[in-house]
Amino acid sequence: MTTTKSKVVYSPVFTDGAEFRIPTFKLLKQDGSLYKGAKAPKLDKEKALRIYRSMVTTRILDERMLAAQRQGRLSFYMQCTGEEAAVIGSAAALDDSDMIMAQYREQGALVYRGFTIDEFMNQLFGNELDYGKGRQMPVHYGSSKLNYMTISSPLATQIPQATGYAYGQKMAGDGHCTITYFGEGAASEGDFHAALNMAAVHRVPVIFLCRNNGYAISTPAAEQFAADGVAPRAYGYKMDVIRVDGNDILAMHEATRAARSLAVEHNRPVLIEAMSYRLAAHSSSDDPSGYRSKDEEAVWREKDPILRMRLWLESKKWWNEDDEKQLQENMRREVLETMKRAQKRPPPALDTLVSDVYDEVPPALADQFEKLKAHIRRHPDAYPKSAEHAKGGA
Amino acid sequence: MTKMNMLQAINNALDTAMAANERVLCFGEDVGVFGGVFRATSNLQQKYGKARCFNTPLVEQGIIGFANGLAAQGSVPVAEIQFADYIFPAFDQIVNESAKFRYRSGNLFNVGGLTIRAPYGGGIAGGLYHSQSPEAYFAHTPGLKIVVPRNPHQAKGLLLAAIHDPNPTLFFEPKRLYRASVGEVPDEDYRLPLGEAEVLKEGTDITVLGWGAQMEVIEHAVEMAEKEGISCEVIDLRTILPWDVETVANSVLKTGRLVVTHEAPLTGGFAGEIAATIQERCFLYLESPIARVTGMDTPFPLVLEKEHLPNHLKVYEAIRSSVDF
């Protein structure tokens, strides 16, 4: 039984969807003033400054940690540079109790929610205080108290999980929603399509936020899809969709605020396509000079989302040169001090190797662990991180 | 006690779990008003509503991704994959996500509430894609539990245990026995232990080990062997992961011989894992090489299914040769 109510034709008529042109929502010009006819969203000074401080913190954290990686202090790093407005503007439009299921480049949302620099550092250095117990590569953060699901490396797996998580929130009737972030490359995965279709069919309060940043490692968006971006796919699932200037903090915040109301009040999932640019390399292991030009990067550097917001804040007299200087200095100092502290902390205890595989360690694994400890006791010099922990036991 | 076939016992287990906890949800392809292609979810939508028992779009990776999210949120999803042969689009969600959710988050998050049900196995003229036994693929993945019941009583007690277990669990149902296996099933909520094998019959000459539908095959083979005076100890492994090494090893220390049988192909099959572990534990007590009686290393055939499967004659022959070694 099909529900299509289409007009009948008597000769073959093909359509290519060209009649659907998706506009881009913008409010803020690069000079910090509003576009003519644009209405500034309700954003009080306190929240605006929380957003701005989060953006600057994210930028400084990224700069310092990439430098630390280059110095060999850290094995790996990924920057959010250029996409701070897309991530923080959307996260700031949610309730702090809403669930965030991110890809891996959304540390800005965590900064906004209040993850401390110490908490970042503990994960990056995989020390004994890392919530993830040193099991995952750097930038795979998670926080249950801040409702930020732990990152997993496989791409797009979090998208259908967000649909399921939000279905549970709808069942619980607690008025919350889930937002899931992913890149335009990840949107090619089957999980993306599964997630959007299921969300539309089951009317789930979930926001799908695609960061269209132009590149999936080296593959440009033009080689990722033939269509006009990711947004038109929403039509196929009968889902509300909006395309936003991802470097425009006010537009990102306003679009996400409206999307949240559709999701939570009307059980309508929404796709947001944030148009931005990955100013940094994919990761510390990548070198963009092999696939894109400095000129192209320069064009996007001119569209810096942080500078754009700063100019807007200054025009409202909410921010000035001294505030900026103080924030920059304080953050740089805090990042350096916490990095030193985190680096000195010991690694996670040896038993974290076998805990959390199941709720309890199964007998066969306990047996393997005892054998490992006995081995380490025979060769303590070969295992400096754990020789001390291996002393106990049979 | 009520006389039930295995499908009725599974349906009764789901009904019991849904009645006890409103966070238990059942979903999958055709699971809703129709009650599933095998009718394992019959009447659950009528009884508990469309929000708790429903059809999903036809997308296995989406079903399990959705189920992972629900479980992370604190719901108790029981997702059905229509045939175990079609679980592979969801392999990434199961192997990289369900299995690692707790470990990778340092126990900040888990999907322990998740149960995945899937009918498995041959003997129903299902050919390549309605007959497979994929347990060994998943047995290579720490973090999962894998459970296979042999009869209606076991099916209800193990499924309820799987639903309540705080770890993601794959529950493979022997579809050949869905209607063929009938027995008395308690009406109340009861749970059989996971990770524990069951000694069905004690014996002294040889241990014969299997799980699921293969237990019926073992029963026939053992009858033949016992007529010839061979005393067989029969064990149902019940949980493939994590498996009960102690019970099997203790049995083989006593009998000195072991035959393991499963429908899945020989190479890389779970019998290989059992054989390796048991020879390590029981080396000096073994009277003969550990024998594996399994499906052949071919895709699952159709017309020659009987030739392919490890039937009672093949299991009997393995018992005989082991004793005569």
Instruction: Please state, in angstroms and rounded to a whole number, the distance separating the CA atoms of residues B305 and B127.
Output: 8
How many helices (H) and strands (E) chain A has is answered by 12, 8
**Do A368 and A266 belong to one domain?**
no
pLDDT for B204-220, tens place per residue?
999 999 999 999 999 99
**Do A316 and A377 belong to one domain?**
no
**Do A358 and A332 belong to one domain?**
no
**In the block, which residue shows the tokens 């701005």?**
A52
Q: Has A113 been annotated as catalytic?
A: no
CA B278 to chain centre: 21
CB contact under 8 A, B106 and A130: yes
Give residue limits of the domains in chain B.
2-185, 198-324
Which residues of B fall within a CB distance of 8 Å from A352?
Answer: 106
**Do A298 and A240 belong to one domain?**
yes
Instruction: Please state, in angstroms and rounded to a whole number, the distance separating the CA atoms of residues A315 and A171.
Output: 45
Which residue is catalytic, options A35, A131, A235, A291?
A291
**Do A231 and A256 belong to one domain?**
yes
Residues comprising chain B, all counted: 325
Q: For the domain made up of B2-185, give the CATH fold.
A: Rossmann fold (3.40.50)
Q: Are strands B24-28 and B2-5 parallel, antiparallel or unpaired?
A: unpaired
The beta-strand segments (E) located in chain B are: 2-5, 24-28, 53-55, 76-80, 115-120, 145-147, 169-174, 182-185, 198-201, 206-210, 232-236, 239-241, 258-265, 291-295
Which residue is catalytic, options B29, B97, B130, B173?
B130
Question: Residue A139 in contact with residue A146, Cβ under 8 Å?
Answer: no
H-helix or E-strand spanning residue A135: none
Residue A46 structural domain = 24-344
CB contact under 8 A, B69 and A358: no
- Specify the pLDDT at position A391: 83
Residue of B105, B111, B250, B280 to mutate for A, most A C-beta atoms under 10 A = B105
Residue A5 covered by a domain: no
Which residues of B fall within a CB distance of 8 Å from A194?
Answer: 57, 59, 61-62, 65-66
CB contact under 8 A, B109 and A356: no
Which of A103, A117, A145 has its CA nearest to residue B109? A145
**Do A387 and A325 belong to one domain?**
no
Three-class SS of residue A148? strand
Q: Across-strand partners of B5?
A: B182
pLDDT for A23-82, tens place per residue?
999 999 999 999 999 998 889 999 999 999 999 999 999 999 999 999 999 999 999 999
Q: Has B60 been annotated as catalytic?
A: yes
Distance from CA of A265 to the nearest CA of B (A): 18
Residue A18 covered by a domain: no
Residue A8 covered by a domain: no
pLDDT for A127-164, tens place per residue?
999 999 999 999 999 999 999 999 999 999 999 999 99
Query: Which of B62, B106, B166 is closest, CB to CB, to A195?
Result: B62
ipTM above 0.95, yes or no: yes
Q: Within an 8 Å CB–CB cutoff, is residue B61 touching chain A?
A: yes
**Do A293 and A373 belong to one domain?**
no
**Do A339 and A377 belong to one domain?**
no
Which residues of B fall within a CB distance of 8 Å from A358?
Answer: 102, 143, 145, 167, 242
Q: What is the mean pLDDT of chain A?
A: 96
Name the residue in chain B with its Cα closest to that of A355.
Answer: B103
The beta-strand segments (E) located in chain A are: 24-25, 99-101, 178-183, 206-212, 215-216, 219-220, 240-245, 270-275
Percent of chain A with pLDDT over 90: 93
- Specify the pLDDT at position B124: 95
Residue A113 covered by a domain: yes
pLDDT for A344-375, tens place per residue?
999 999 999 999 999 999 999 999 999 999 99
CB contact under 8 A, A191 and B65: yes
Q: Which two tokens stand for residue A196?
A: 């959007």
The beta-strand segments (E) located in A81-145 are: 99-101
**Do A259 and A361 belong to one domain?**
no
Where residue A1 falls among pLDDT bands split at 50, 70, 90?
low
Which residues of B fall within a CB distance of 8 Å from A141?
Answer: none
Instruction: Taking the CA atoms of A368, A370, A375 and A379 in sequence, report the sign of the dihedral they define.
Output: positive
- Chain B window 120-149: which residues touch A at a Cβ cutoff of 8 Å? 142-143, 145
- Residues 6 or more apart from A149 whose CB is under 8 A from it? A99, A100, A101, A102, A142, A158, A161, A165, B72, B105, B109
CB contact under 8 A, B69 and A164: yes
Number of domains in chain A: 2
- Does the pLDDT value for residue B233 go beyond 60? yes
Name the residue in chain B with its Cα closest to that of A348.
Answer: B106
Instruction: Please state, in angstroms and rounded to a whole number, the distance separating the CA atoms of residues B264 and A310.
Output: 64
Where residue A394 falls among pLDDT bands split at 50, 70, 90?
very low
Residue of B61, B194, B237, B277 to mutate for A, most A C-beta atoms under 10 A = B61
Which residue is catalytic, options A211, A282, A308, A389?
A282
Question: Residue A207 in contact with residue A266, Cβ under 8 Å?
Answer: no
CB contact under 8 A, A165 and B74: no
Which residues of B fall within a CB distance of 8 Å from A207?
Answer: none
Backbone φ and ψ of B75, nearest 5°: -75, 170
- Output Rg (C-alpha) for chain B, integer angstroms: 19
Instruction: Please state, in angstroms and rounded to a whole number, the distance separating the CA atoms of residues A362 and B195.
Output: 9
- Chain B window 96-125: which residues touch A at a Cβ cutoff of 8 Å? 96-97, 100, 102-110, 112
**Do A319 and A358 belong to one domain?**
no
- Does the pLDDT value for residue A393 go beyond 90? no
- Does the pLDDT value for residue B91 go beyond 90? yes
Average pLDDT over residues B138-153: 98
- Specify the pLDDT at position A41: 87
Average pLDDT over residues B119-131: 97
**Do A281 and A359 belong to one domain?**
no
Residue A2 covered by a domain: no
Average pLDDT over residues B229-250: 98
- Specify the pLDDT at position A379: 97
CB contact under 8 A, A194 and B62: yes
Query: Which of B70, B102, B107 is closest, CB to CB, to A164?
Result: B70
Q: What is the mean pLDDT of chain B?
A: 98
Average pLDDT over residues A377-387: 94
**Do A213 and A292 belong to one domain?**
yes
Q: For the domain made up of B198-324, give the CATH fold.
A: Rossmann fold (3.40.50)
Distance from CA of A51 to the nearest CA of B (A): 26
